[in-house]
Amino acid sequence: MSVQMPTPRRERSNWPQPYLALGYLLAACSLPGYGYAADNPDAHEHGHARLQIAVENNSIDLMFTSPAYNLAGFEHEARTDEEKRRLSKINHWLNNTPLVDTEAASCRVTAAVVELGGETDHDDHGHHEEHRHEEHHNEEHHHDHEEGHEKAAHREYDVSQQLQCDDLGAGLTLTSALLEEFGNLEELAVEWVTQSGQGSARLTSVNRAFTINN
């Protein structure tokens, strides 16, 4: 049974919702359940990330979601010049490096959107101070609010890319440079869908390749 793939749109100015087509496509597929990606797709777990891929002919649309810690080594808002340079370097890499590629490195990025979202410890600080002044004698309230403060510091990267590749034939083997580039990323959960079917894989630093039927 073939899967109806969306018509790729190559101009970024005509791509205001880069996740939409791929998100609907994968949501419509009953992908095998496994670990981080399927059991709890909204989990914020350091060391783990999710990559979703749709392949049509010689085009690949993908979405990558990861805690910011995996890429930057921190999740608070950048404070030092070094941290700001780190985020700038990551943004450039994610915008220009194919997150999957063929063995012949034939893929190139034709459109990309990189977003770093989520609340920061700075965002929650004022709220925390307000409650602390109102109920500074309430020890239980203060403890609960500290837990909320810690949770609010979670930030995530959401990356969408459109790739154009050469000769994406049957039995296609793809690799990801993510695990090589970012040492804090220990495991990448991959889901893919093509006109021939769908599947999933787990990638690690010692196993960065997977094969799909296109």
Predicted structure pTM score: 0.72
Residue 186, token pair as written in the block = 């220990």
- Could you tell me the pLDDT band of residue 30, with boundaries at 50, 70 and 90? very low
Which pLDDT score, from 0 to 100, does residue 170 have?
Answer: 77
- Rounded average pLDDT over 67-76: 96
Q: Which residue has the higher pLDDT, 75 or 42?
A: 75
- Rounded average pLDDT over 97-123: 87
Which pLDDT score, from 0 to 100, does residue 44 have?
Answer: 79
Q: Which residue has the higher pLDDT, 134 or 76?
A: 76
- Angle ∠(133,139,141) on CA atoms, nearest 5: 70
- For residue 115, is pLDDT > 80? yes
Q: Which residue has the higher pLDDT, 198 or 133?
A: 198
Q: Which amino acid is at 69?
A: Y
- For residue 117, is pLDDT > 80? yes
* % of the chain at pLDDT higher than 70: 63
Provide the CA 206 distance to its chain's centre, in angstroms: 20
- Rounded average pLDDT over 118-140: 48
Nearest alpha carbon to residue 182 among 81, 53, 51, 79 = 51
